[in-house]
Amino acid sequence: MRQAEDTHVARLWRGALAHGATLVEAHFPRAYLDANRGLEDIDPALFADGERWPGPVEVTRKTEQGIGLVWRLARGGVPMYARALSVDEVERRIRTCWHPYHEAVARALDERHLAFGAVWHVNCHSMPAVGDARSDDPGRERADVVLGDRDGTTCEAAYTRLVAEAFASRGYSVAVNDPYKGVELVRRHGRPAERRHSLQVELKRTLYMDEGTLEPNAGYARLERDLTAVAAVIAAHARASAPGG
C-alpha cells in the first residue's frame, strides 16, 4: 500500500522555493484519496450491495485498473480493503481532502496568474521503475522522467520541450506521454490559451529510493540538486515569458 505514495517527492522539489516557486503539498496519501482523479472517477465495486454513489459516475481506464478516486487495489492487484466502504466514508474523504487540496492549488495558480498574466504549473509525481501487470506498460522499464501534457493540450509545446531538455542535459532519459499523459490536475489547470500551463512530471523511484523499503538511496542527493536546477530553468522561462514580467 505504501507504494501508492509519492514518497519523498515534496522534499526532492523543495529547492524550487529558492527560485520563486510555490509548493502545494497534499498531507494525505494517494492510497487514501487520489487528488489526481476527477470526482466522477468512482469505482462502484468499492461499495456494499445496495449502496449506490449519489453523484455522477464516469468509469475511466484508472477505474478499470482499480485506482480511481479511491483506490480499490494496491500494487500487484492486492485488495486495498478487507471490507466494503460506505458512501459516507468516501464523501468525507472528498470533503476533507480532495476539495481543500484542489482549492489550495487553484488559489495559488490564480494568484500568480493575476500578478503576472501567466502561470507555469508542475504537477509532481513519482512512479515505479517497471509497470506491473495492471499497468498500460506491464513489465517494461520506464524512462527516468515521464512528462505528461495530455498530448499537448495542457501546456505550450515549448514548456514541455524546455523541461524535457533540462532533464536530458543532466543525463536523464525522458519520455513524453508514455505511459503517463497526466490526469485530473493537469487537465483541470492546464489551459494554455489562457497562459495557464500545466505539466505532469513523473520521477522513476529507483533514481532516489529503494522501492521496497522506501528509504533514500545513493542517488537521492544528486536528483535533489538536479531538480533544483530544473526548477531554475523553468523559473527563468517564466520570467522571460510572462507578460507581467
- pLDDT digits 0-9 by tens, 129-162: 999 888 889 999 999 999 999 999 999 999 999 9
The answer to whether the predicted template modeling score (pTM) of the entire model surpasses 0.85 is yes
Coil vs helix vs strand at 163: helix
Specify the pLDDT at position 57: 95
Identify which has the larger pLDDT, 5 or 158: 158
Please state which CATH number belongs to domain 2-241: 3.40.630.40
Alpha helices in the chain (DSSP H): 9-12, 61-64, 87-93, 99-116, 157-168, 184-189, 220-241
